Structure 1
Amino acid sequence: MRALRILLIFVVILGGLFVAVDRAAVYFAESEAASKIRSSQGLTSEPDVSIKGFPFLTQVAGSKLDEIEISVGGITATAEGRQVEVTEVKAELRDVKVNSSFSSAVAGSAQGSALISYEDLSKSAPQGATVSYAGAERAAKGQVKVSGPLGDLLEGAGVDVPTAFQAMLREEFTAYSTVSLEDGDKVRLRAEDLPKLSVPGVEGELKDVVDYDLTIDGLPSTITLDKVTTTQDGLRFSGTGTDVDLTS
């Protein structure tokens, strides 16, 4: 019985040592992977890399990691010089084939996601315009609400309004814009059915103002976005990929 007890204690100690070594190896691998991904993808800062699954060492022995999650900061979107932050930029990679030095890593499949909040969308919008949630029905159509004081919008568009119509500039302008994504990095907002305005002859100028594009700058090539949805939090982007090379 005493011998069995000693054996069990020995097994527990070995198990603890294995777990400690395994976690240390994960930490080192995550740090190395973050450095290489930053370099190969041209990122401004190192991403957060989290290697999932246990034990890690047996995955390395098989040259395949079950899952890696990458979170990226410092991504922005730009519209005519107005720059805003893109948040929650993540990539979830599965079935990642690696070599022993982590100089090569190819994911069998990948899912990417990102978010631009309405607050940041408003910062990117033309002068006088605020972008906000349009409600569930319009959100299902991929639309957002674009609104603002008519006078501010016309001023931003450089439109001179005759004196006779100056008093009407206090009215609130509201339109609903359909959001689309092109080429994986360009967000387009296009107004549908502009409201009838009390100031005549300015519809065309207003449409030119509220229709605008944002370009998402600095996305790593591991994240290819192909879908945008409008939610209560803002614009959520997602995309998928296969055979994604993380180190080139």
Structure 2
Amino acid sequence: MRTPIRMPSLPPNPLPPNPYDELAALADPDPTPPLTRPDGDAVTQEIPLPRQDTEKESDELPIPLKCGENDDDSWSPPDHRRTGRRRRGGRSRRRKRRSPFSAVPRTLKLLLGLLFCAGFLVLADRCAAMYAEKKAQQELQKQLHLAAAPQVDIHGFPFLTQVLDKRLERVDVTVPHVAADRVSLAKVRASASDIRLTGDLPRDIRGAVIGDLDGEAELSFDDMNRELAASEVKFSRLDDSSVSADGKLTVAGQELRVRARAQVRMAGNSELSTDIDDMSVDVPGIATYRPGKGKGLTLHRETAERISRDAARVKALLSVPAVVERLGVPDEAIAVALRDEEKLHELTGAPRFVERLTHVNLVDVVIAHPWLLRRIGIDPGLVAGLIHLRPPELSDHLSFSFKLPKEAKGLQLRGVKVDKSGIRASLSGMELAVGRT
């Protein structure tokens, strides 16, 4: 067992204690090589520590260690440059916020910019076209004295380059309700192409010259029925070139039905007119009157059947030679029938007799024998009123026509056709001047 070596005690120092010595005493003692004896055994040396007051030690609180501190860890000086860079980077990130478009590729940005510019140019071009359409509508309404503004559609893109070139590709114009004589045109549509503008562009456009124009004028049956309502006439399609007219007429205080055929034709290059033919006036349940040359008054079938069943009325008719002659019955048979009721019944009861009677023209007969109408049950005043009707008077109630406006110079009618809704006339024109040229 090794015995510790005790150091000899030093004599007391008369000088006052040095504070730096006390601090040095608190430090760890320097390692000293162990003392060895001559025989090689180590000598243990005890170093006396300064006496400390245990009461003071109990009053002092231990200094806590920081979390993660370890005496064994090696100490290194702080890197102030790294900390400064980190702080400056944090401040720069707080100052500079990244744009949402910073992640978008540059090519995509360029493409979006081009699309935006193109959209803006298209919008500007369409606004200019709409402005030009509005000005054209106002000018046409003023020149043609229209009640309603027409519709103008300018085609072709872009519009501004066409204006700068003073030439438009195509313009469509629709004009509603154009006054034309007794009736009005329901609609006039025109498509103009190769339009050359005149004036100082782009602000002062004085007029235009239309190179080629194709159009159509529509005369509606609904408008005709409404505008010719004084005669209560209804118009409808009969075939591709004719119109059926059906109206009412009052004669001798009785309402009669008027029917006619209106043949549609062109009168020159700017007018459409009608020829009225195949006209008839029906006395309901009695007779039909057809005015004009070669026409006359004929009985309805129900009237002829009623007369054939009445012996007195049949004898009144057969007593007139003109009627017997038109019936084509031999005089001997008529003489026997007038004397024998049975023979008379056989003659008038045959279907052929009624059929022949409906084709007999009674105009000249009733003029020569006015008493005959009363004998067969027809009002003489009504028949007299029918006979005094003249075809021109009836035609005025049923005819219609229209002319192109005088302002539409150079515009011509090319053809006419009747369809289900009305009458359509085709229009055309070349080198038409509009406005001041």
TM-score range, shorter chain: 0.7 to 0.9
What is the one-letter code of the residue matched to 2:141? R
CA RMSD of aligned residues (A): 2.9
CA contact (8 A) 1:78 1:124 kept: no
**What are the equivalent positions in structure 2 for 1:93-172 lying under 5 Å apart?**
93-99=192-198, 100=201, 101-125=204-228, 127-135=230-238, 139-140=239-240, 142-149=241-248, 152=249, 155=250, 161=252, 172=257
Work out whether residues 262 and 399 of structure 2, in 8 Å CA contact, stay in contact via their aligned partners in 1: no
* Shift in alpha-carbon separation, 1:31–1:3, aligned structure 2, 3 A: same
Give the SS at the match of 1:36: helix
Q: Determine if the alignment matches structure 1 residue 180 to structure 2 residue 368.
A: no
Deviates more, 1:235-244 or 1:116-125: 116-125
Which letter does structure 1 place at the counterpart of 2:267?
Answer: E
SS of the equivalent of 1:58 reads helix
Structure 2 letter corresponding to 1:221: A
Deviations 1:191-244 (A, max 9, x none): 223346245634635654356343447475165434322110011122100111
Structure scoring higher RCO (CA < 8 A, sep ≥ 6) equals 1
CA distance in 2, matches of 1:29, 1:128: 45
* In 2, Cα distance between equivalents of 1:90 and 1:41: 14
Contact 1:96 1:106 survives alignment (8 Å): yes
Further displaced range: 62-71 or 169-178? 169-178
Q: Which has the higher strand share?
A: 1
Q: Secondary structure at the match of 2:427?
A: strand
- TM-score of the superposition, structure 2-length normalised? 0.46
- Partner in structure 2 of residue 225 of structure 1: 413
Q: Which moved more, 1:64-73 or 1:27-36?
A: 27-36
- One-letter code of the match for 1:95? D
Match of 2:191 among 92, 98, 110: 92
Alignment-derived partner of residue 9 in structure 1 = 112
Structure 1: which 4+ aligned runs deviate by more than 4 Å? 216-220
1:238 counterpart = 2:426: yes
* Equivalent-residue separation in structure 1 for 2:397 and 2:148 (angstroms): 33
Tell me the TM-score normalised to structure 1 length.
0.77
Instruction: Tell me if the contact between 2:212 and 2:431 (Cα under 8 Å) persists in the aligned partners.
Output: yes
Q: Distance in 1 between matches of 2:187 and 2:406?
A: 12
Residues 134 and 23 (structure 1 numbering): CA distance in 2 closer, same or farther, change over 3 Å? closer
Aligned partner letter, 2:107: L
Q: Is the 8 A contact 1:145 1:177 kept in 2?
A: yes
Contact 1:122 1:131 in 2 (8 A): yes
Letter in 2 for 1:57: L
* Offset at residue 64 of structure 1 (A): 1.1
Q: Across the two proteins, how many residue pairs are aligned to each other?
A: 226
The letter for the 2-side match of 1:97 is R
What is the rounded CA distance, in whole Å, between the counterparts of 1:206 and 1:44 in structure 2? Answer: 32
Question: Which residue in 1 is equivalent to 2:311?
Answer: none
Partner Cα distance (1:88, 1:236) in 2: 10
**Based on CA coordinates, which of the two structures has the bigger radius of gyration?**
2
Contact 1:49 1:68 in 2 (8 A): yes
Query: Which sits farther off after the overlay, 17-26 or 126-135?
Result: 126-135
Identity %: 21
The answer to whether the 8 A contact 2:233-2:398 is kept is: no
Q: Note the C-alpha offset of 1:123.
A: 3.4
Q: Which residue of structure 2 lines up, in the alignment, with residue 189 of structure 1?
A: 274
Whole-angstrom distance in 1 between the partners of 2:231 and 2:140: 40
For the 8 Å contact 1:130–1:147, the answer to whether it is kept is yes
1:231 to 1:242, Cα distance in 2 relative to 1, 3 A: same
Contact 1:186–1:213, Cα closer than 8 Å, also in 2: no
The one-letter amino acid paired with 2:162 is Q
Cα separation, partners in 2 of 1:6 and 1:97, compared to 1, 3 Å: same
Aligned-partner Cα distance in 2 for 1:194–1:45: 38
Matched, 1:27 2:214: no
**Structure 2 match to 1:209:** 396
Instruction: Find 1:50's aligned residue among 142, 146, 153.
Output: 153
Secondary structure in 1 matching 2:149? coil
